[in-house]
Copies of this chain bind each other. A is one copy, B any other.
Amino acid sequence: MAPDYHKTVSKNVRNYIISLQKKRSREEHRVFVIEGDKLIREFLASDFSVVSLIAKPEFISSLQPELLEKAGEVIPVRYEELKKISSMVTPHNAIAVIRMPDIKFSTARIFRSLSLALDTIQDPGNLGTIIRAAAWFGIRNIICTENCVDVYNPKVIQATMGAFINVNVFYTDLVVSLKKARENNIPVYGAMLEGTEIYGQQPDKRGIVLLGNESKGISGNLLSFVSHRIVIPRIKGQITGIESLNVGMAASIIMYEFTRKKN
């Protein structure tokens, strides 16, 4: 590939992409950034709209034409340019700007099958791995309190490892949604430290699994909507130093147990 094939990313574009590391800018422009060859290939093959693809020419020319034409704008750059706009210490070969999907939130969608509800999850890695496990177990919808970490945070997207494409994440008032769930006889399973062991539980085909904040658990104002308090059994006897499982692990174990009858 001839060197004159490279372009330079203008200062405006550079500042724009860097600004998208911040939630406010993402919300304003209704776009987010993804990084990495594999992830970008998957987004190009998906229903997402790829606004810009900024990548090394080698990456661009490795794409099948039908994938490449799905990118709105294609900017071939040197690796040094990618370094300037990447959120990573060691960037991959490609960065893309993606339009946020416009999926309408409705409780009917959430109530149709088994869904997750997340209360004040703070750690990007936790949200990312929960989305990854949800995709694995076929759970399509997650509702989050407004103060959960943003799903378009680059660290969340990185941790989902592509599973992001398969799961809808909605930010909404959980008081309203969970109240409505109970009014519609949808069970709300609260992951707690005391309750019924999940072994062999046969949950409804429909239902909401509610998981609380990493250190504080489920908020008081949501607790009253829990219809089933569930626990992951731990080793018997008093052991110091372990008060709970990591929320991502708890979520994945519950999804594993609750989907075993259905898959």
CB within 8 Å of B: which residues of A? 42, 45-46, 125, 129, 132-133, 135-138, 159, 161-166, 199, 232-236, 239-246, 248-249, 252-253, 256-257, 259-260, 263
Cβ B136 vs Cβ A242 within 8 A: yes
Known A-B contacts A234-B263, A235-B259, A240-B46; the reply to A248 vs B248 at CB < 8 A is yes
Cβ B249 vs Cβ A263 within 8 A: no
* Closest chain B CB from A47 CB (angstroms): 11
CA distance A46 to B241 in the complex (A): 10
This chain's copy number in the assembly? 2
Known A-B contacts A42-B240, A166-B239, A240-B165; the reply to A252 vs B245 at CB < 8 A is yes
Output the nearest chain B residue to A128 by Cβ-Cβ distance.
B246
Mind listing 7 A-B residue pairs with CB under 8 Å?
Answer: A125-B125, A135-B241, A138-B239, A162-B242, A166-B241, A232-B256, A235-B263
Q: Tell me which residues across on chain B come within 8 A of A199, comparing CB atoms.
A: 260
Closest 4 CB pairs of A and B: A138-B235, A162-B241, A249-B252, A165-B241
Known A-B contacts A248-B129, A249-B252, A253-B253; the reply to A243 vs B137 at CB < 8 A is no
* Closest chain B CB from A137 CB (angstroms): 6
Q: Tell me which residues across on chain B come within 8 A of A246, comparing CB atoms.
A: 129, 132-133, 159, 161, 248, 252
Output the nearest chain B residue to A246 by Cβ-Cβ distance.
B129
Cβ A135 vs Cβ B239 within 8 A: yes
Cβ A243 vs Cβ B161 within 8 A: yes
Q: Tell me which residues across on chain B come within 8 A of A232, comparing CB atoms.
A: 136, 256
Q: Tell me which residues across on chain B come within 8 A of A240, comparing CB atoms.
A: 42, 45-46, 162, 165-166
Q: Tell me which residues across on chain B come within 8 A of A263, comparing CB atoms.
A: 233-236
Cβ A256 vs Cβ B259 within 8 A: no
Which of these, B129, B138, B162, B257, contacts A249 with CB under 8 Å?
B129
Output the nearest chain B residue to A42 by Cβ-Cβ distance.
B241
Q: Tell me which residues across on chain B come within 8 A of A241, comparing CB atoms.
A: 42, 46, 135, 161-166
CA distance A243 to B136 in the complex (A): 9
CA distance A166 to B132 in the complex (A): 29
* Closest chain B CB from A164 CB (angstroms): 7
Which of these, B125, B166, B242, contacts A163 with CB under 8 Å?
B242
